[in-house]
Amino acid sequence: MNAVATYHDRVPDDRDRKRTLLLDWLTAHDTHRVALHDGGPIESPQILTRLRAALPAPEESVYVLVRRDAPTMPLYVGRAAQPVKRWEGHLRNLLKSTARTEAWRVHFQHPLDLYVVPVTAMQGPPIPCFPVTVGAVEAQLISLAQDTSPALLNHEGVRR
């Protein structure tokens, strides 16, 4: 056995703590969870109708896409001043055939939910003592999710 420990061996794994922070934040905002898609073929009009019904007066929000059977494993985290319009763009992009859209389409085979949390309804930051602004919360959620969710479609610092 090597007497010299590697950096990885000395640093404690904090995935459980990050998973707990993520779970706590999502649970606190569960009233903002929308049934987005029931799985199978992507039917944009039906998805947009659901979003419009759930968000009659949209406002600046952070959104988190999750599989219904794994609601604490984010697939995508984003922000938008008008979430329905942003999702119109996401769905339009799914019509294109790219490696990125193929990764999204795989997830749409399953029932999906979308947390759409307006800044005005945020119960606090995902990570204690951090700011509660739309950009800060989005960055915190992406950071937590990329360390705990192998299926995450976006990453911190990647322009979207």
pLDDT score for 160: 40
Helices 15-28/134-148 angle, 10° precision: 130
Which helix (H) or strand (E) is 36 found in, with range?
A: strand 33-37
pLDDT tens-digit profile of 27-69? 999 999 999 999 999 999 999 999 999 998 889 999 999 999 9
pLDDT score for 11: 47
pLDDT score for 22: 95
Contacts of 154 (CB under 8 A, 6+ apart): 76, 77, 78, 142, 160
In this predicted structure, the answer to whether residue 110 has a pLDDT above a threshold of 90 is: yes
Give the confidence band of 8 by pLDDT, cuts at 50, 70, 90: very low
In the chain, what are the domain boundaries? 30-149
| Helices and strands in the chain, H and E counts | 6, 4
Average pLDDT over residues 98-124: 93
Closest CA to 160 of 83, 99, 100: 100
Closest CA to 137 of 153, 150, 149, 120: 120
Helix ranges (DSSP H) in 108-151: 134-148
pTM confidence score = 0.87
Contact between 160 and 154 under an 8 Å Cβ cutoff? The reply is yes
Question: Percent of the chain at pLDDT above 90?
Answer: 72
Closest CA to 32 of 14, 55, 11: 55
